[in-house]
Amino acid sequence: MNLPGSTGDPSGLPDPAHPRDMSDAGLHVTYRRSGGIAGLDLVAECAGSDLPQDHARVARDLLDAPADEPGRGGTEREAAVVPAGADRFTYTVHITDGTRHRTLTWSEGAVPSAAEPLLASLGGLATPQRAP
Amino acid sequence: MSLQPLACIIPPDLLAAVAREADATQRQALLDTLQLDQSFRVVRAENAARTVETTRALTPRVGAGTPSRSIYDQKHSTATTPGTLARSEGQAPVADVSVNQAYDNFGYTYKLYWDIFHRDSIDDQGLPIEGLVHFGANYDNAFWDGAGHMFFGDGDGQMLTDTTKGIDVVGHELTHGVTQHEANLTYSGQSGALNESVSDVFGSLVKQYHLGQDVATADWLIGADIVGPQLAPALRSMKAPGTANHYDNQPATMDGYVHTTSDNGGVHTNSGIPNHAFYVIATTIGGNAWEAAGQIWYDTLVDPRLRPNATFSKFAALTLRSARTRYGASSNEAAAVKTGWDEVKVRVR
């Protein structure tokens, strides 16, 4: 498992191995990693076209997937499941294509493998924010 | 033989009934007797409560008083099962500083729990202590997995550095295990913030006890030894919540309680409130925080009346009950507990 949000390319420059998907112009993604022993929120926001093509496709798939698909995650309210243990991260991603909206929340350790590259990509763009 | 008036068993309600019918002189004498009788009843009740011992304290396991530590090297993987065993109980230090720091800081944590609270490890039954270090790549966190393992990242050098270095951080993680085995405070909302606060309180006590710091010399910071430049000088301050670093917005009182869906309902944010209550109580009592204030918190944590969904108010009420039980209803310790919760504007009920 890669650890979403802990590493990444802070430069935001295109990675030749992951070309940007310019066809996803309407796609918009926001990201928040909360929790951890520091209790620090890391946030990021970007257009789908700013994501590597394969990661943008993950976001599109998450938006397209039926709400009850196993492992996809739930809405923020549905995902208010108490995590096992303590001090683990929580990831919340909001995806929209302008007409449809999805908010997905996962506790660290319960992130579906398909979503890990997207979270890693967004984590690389994220910056700290005072908790709301 | 003369009859000792205080040895006579006259129910207080009978005394009160007689006093109502008596003339002024007799009434005053009877009311004086009633007041004295009440004082003796309170003292008797307090003494009885103080002599209660738990079964666990009377029957320690063979080998109690010595931890059973195992430190595993995860070699930067994110595997959640123990990796390569790097040092086990009684073995000499190894070349890896993180391994030794985890080993030592677990030892100091066990020592506080054993020396002061007579608790034998995480479950009070000598549960082996398993620390997994070098978890992930540049991993900015340490956590308790709910299944007996504590994970420690090396940090990215900017937000966090090697998390094994923090004696309070290691104490914090192990205390999550203690909480799980006792009150099992639900990790969400107020009960989650209490869960976090209890870990900060005992993490800080581990540090203070090891360093021999009293309430005046302790820094009351959490994570000062593991923060990088981005979060310096610390993760949290129990003395002044909200001031530990640029991003710290912990409230010190209920006026600043944060309602949020982030971080399981702001468990690391609202923990500032009970954290500050503990600080006020400990400093009001004075001396060493692990003595009276720490004992009151520990008594509360292991009190079966502390339920998993406890609110701040319920927890506060139980701390006051613990203080009255152990030190007396009119003790300075009980008064300090009331002062602490009043200061953070938590109603004690």
Contact A131 B144 (CB under 8 A): no
Size of interface A-B (CB pairs under 8 A): 126
Mean pLDDT over each residue of chain B, to the nearest integer: 89
Residues 6+ apart with CB under 8 A from B2: none
Residue of B149, B172, B176, B268 with catalytic role: B268
User: Is the torsion defined by CA of B12, B17, B18, B24 positive or negative?
Assistant: positive
Interface test with B, best of A31, A41, A42, A87 (most B CBs within 10 A): A87
> Residue A19: what pLDDT?
55
Judge whether B23 lies within some domain. Answer: no
For residue B153, is it within any domain? Answer: yes
Quick one: B314 and B225 in the same domain?
yes
Regarding whether B214 and B154 lie in a shared domain, the answer is: no
Which residue in B113, B78, B76 sits closest to B98, CA to CA? B76
- Cβ separation B258–A84 shorter than 8 A: no
Task: Please give the ipTM for the structure prediction.
Answer: 0.83
Same domain, B221 and B328: yes
pLDDT in tens, B278-296: 999 999 999 999 999 999 9
Q: Do the bridges between strand B142-144 and strand B149-152 make them parallel or antiparallel, or are there none, so unpaired?
A: antiparallel
DSSP letter assigned to residue A20 = B
- Output phi, psi for B277, to 5 deg: -60, -45
- Residue labelled with tokens 């009970």: B274
CA distance B277 to B271: 10
- Identify which of B144, B248, B262 has the shortest CB distance to residue A132: B262
Whether the ω angle into residue B304 lies within 30 degrees of 0, i.e. cis, is no
pLDDT-above-90 percentage for chain B: 81
**Closest CA relative to residue B194, chosen from B328, B57, B318, B75:** B318
- Contacts of B132 by beta carbon, 8 Å cutoff, 6+ apart: B71, B72, B74, B82, B83, B149, B150, B151, B152
Option in A76, A84, A88 nearest B261 (CB): A76
In a domain, residue B19? The reply is: no
Q: What is the pLDDT of residues A4-59, one digit of tens each?
A: 444 334 344 445 555 555 556 689 999 999 999 999 999 999 999 999 999 999 99
Burial environment of residue B242 by CB neighbours within 10 A (0 to 12, 13 to 18, 19 or more): middle
User: At residue B66, does pLDDT exceed 50?
Assistant: yes
pLDDT band for B349, please (50, 70, 90 cuts).
confident
Total count of residues recorded for chain B: 349
Last residue of a domain, one of B118, B151, B181: B181
Burial environment of residue B301 by CB neighbours within 10 A (0 to 12, 13 to 18, 19 or more): buried
Domain residue spans of chain A: 28-129
- Structural domain containing residue B310: 189-343
According to DSSP, the β-strands at A127-129 and A41-47 are antiparallel
